[in-house]
A = this chain, B = another copy of it.
Amino acid sequence: MVKKVVIVGGGAAGIDVLELLLRGKGAADAEELEITLLKKEHEGFFSMCGLPFALQGLYQIKDLDLFEPEFYRAQGIEFRTGTEVTRINLEERYVHLDSGEDLSYDELVIATGSRPFIPPIEGTDLEGVYTLNTREDGEKVDAALHAEETRNAVIIGAGWIGLQAAVAFSKRGITTRVVEKLPYPLPAILDADIASLVKKRLDKEITFMFGRTVRALRGARHVKSVLVDNEEFPADIVLISAGVRPNVDLARAAGIAIGESGGIVTDPALRVKKGNLYLANVYALGDCLEVIDAVTHHPRLSQLASTALIQARVVANNIRGISSSYGPCLSPTVATISGLQIGSVGVITEVARRYGIPLKSGSAVKYTRARFFPDRKLIVAKLLFEARSQRLIGAQLISEETVAERINELTLAIRAGITARDIWMRERCFDPSLTMVEDVLVDAALKACHL
């Protein structure tokens, strides 16, 4: 029997499911699948995460087109771009398209992603005001950056996208101001003390305006200035990077349960909920999904390409009849901002406080390699432990090297229930060209728990 799979959404989440189903296609026991992917956008598999570096000039936006639609079509996939799903009918198992067409499914995958949050202020519809959430956004911003008249920029929000864009804007010689309500950058993943080090490093190239609020964007047709509290600043370009919200309108209209975080609720098999039932043949994943936090056990969002990949394995397996489940989430995250690698995993202090988790935390600064080694870099580490058990529940790192792999290690450490004492006593490899014999993580654990 041929099973019809319809995937709604062609961002990382939807395409990951597609790719994993294709990989399984050859297997002897594989049911025959007829797969349709529906996406609004016009490209195939595009790497959104690579966009900020394209704006910085490291490569072209077109280099991020990893696979064209034809690549999938040649493998027998109905890969439909420029196509919007306007309604899901769960009872009769079909989706209604903007073309008027109805498309029936046996298994439905909802991967509708997220959209930028636009603050409710005047002027956000002016020309020259952008977000950075699609390939098209990227092309518009890139064109604006190349325009000679672009001299002054205001970026709203100092998260990953805001900071990476700010570096790109500055590199083009544009005077760039970043306005952030909170008193420091990357507030979702860093504590104030660690974030202040990021700020200090970036202060040379970006003008930060922390603890300040954008009240309005002004201009006739094109944006000309930004009102920050009571002060007006010139702006030929404004980038709104104030976070993203799950795209759940379609799911909500179909009666699918939406959680307190704003994401779609599922069971561990990633099957969506309607009323009191989890639907056997409807899955959701990616930015539109609500996950459970592995430390707090509370629902939240995890809008990362890396999260989507793991969820896609679960969905693809379940569609292929291999029972698979998705567990609570630590959401390790990392990025490079102007040569500085910044990483975080687990809870930050503010989240621990919010959920009443008592903390012991310790920070240390050290070299990445032996102190006599010429290429060594500084590294800052902050580790958060649950006070009673001394189990690791969060980590924040900054350095010019080794951050991503250390975040992966710490993700595993949190998962494995590692304590401060375990960090102190565990074996690490040593070579003076690559590590210190007594690592910065050991120092941070020592400071947190006075070992």
Interface size on A, residues (CB 8 A): 61
A377 at the interface (CB under 8 A from B): no
Shortest Cβ distance from A345 into B: residue: B429
Do A427 and B306 touch across chains, with their CB atoms under 8 A apart?
A: yes
Q: In whole angstroms, what is the CA distance A154 to B408 when docked? A: 42
Interface string of A56-80 (1 = CB under 8 A from B): 0011000110100000000000000
A435 at the interface (CB under 8 A from B): yes
Given contacts A306-B437, A405-B402, A412-B413, contact A49 B374 (CB under 8 A): no
Q: Which A residues between 294 and 337 are near B, CB-CB below 8 angstroms?
A: 304-307, 309-310, 313, 329-336
Min CB distance A396 to B, Å, is 12
Q: In whole angstroms, what is the CA distance A64 to B304 when docked? A: 44
Number of copies: 2
Q: Which A residues between 141 and 193 are near B, CB-CB below 8 angstroms?
A: none
A277 at the interface (CB under 8 A from B): no
Do B406 and A59 touch across chains, with their CB atoms under 8 A apart?
A: no
Chain B residues within 8 Å of A137, by CB = none
Min CB distance A186 to B, Å, is 13
Q: In whole angstroms, what is the CA distance A79 to B334 when docked? A: 46
Do A343 and B403 touch across chains, with their CB atoms under 8 A apart?
A: no
A434 at the interface (CB under 8 A from B): yes
Do A430 and B53 touch across chains, with their CB atoms under 8 A apart?
A: no
Q: In whole angstroms, what is the CA distance A304 to B432 when docked? A: 12
Do B334 and A430 touch across chains, with their CB atoms under 8 A apart?
A: yes
Cβ-defined partner of A429 (8 Å) among B53, B58, B411, B430:
B411
A358 at the interface (CB under 8 A from B): no
Q: In whole angstroms, what is the CA distance A344 to B327 when docked? A: 30
Interface string of A388-419 (1 = CB under 8 A from B): 00000000000000111111110111011010
A373 at the interface (CB under 8 A from B): yes
Q: In whole angstroms, what is the CA distance A47 to B336 when docked? A: 33
A211 at the interface (CB under 8 A from B): no
Shortest Cβ distance from A330 into B: residue: B427
Q: In whole angstroms, what is the CA distance A226 to B374 when docked? A: 36
Listed A/B pairs (5) with beta-carbon separation below 8 Å: A306-B429, A334-B434, A335-B433, A407-B429, A411-B427
Besides A306-B428, A310-B425, 15 other A-B contacts (C-beta < 8 A): A47-B432, A50-B372, A58-B374, A59-B374, A66-B371, A305-B430, A306-B429, A306-B430, A310-B427, A331-B427, A332-B427, A334-B431, A402-B404, A408-B409, A411-B428
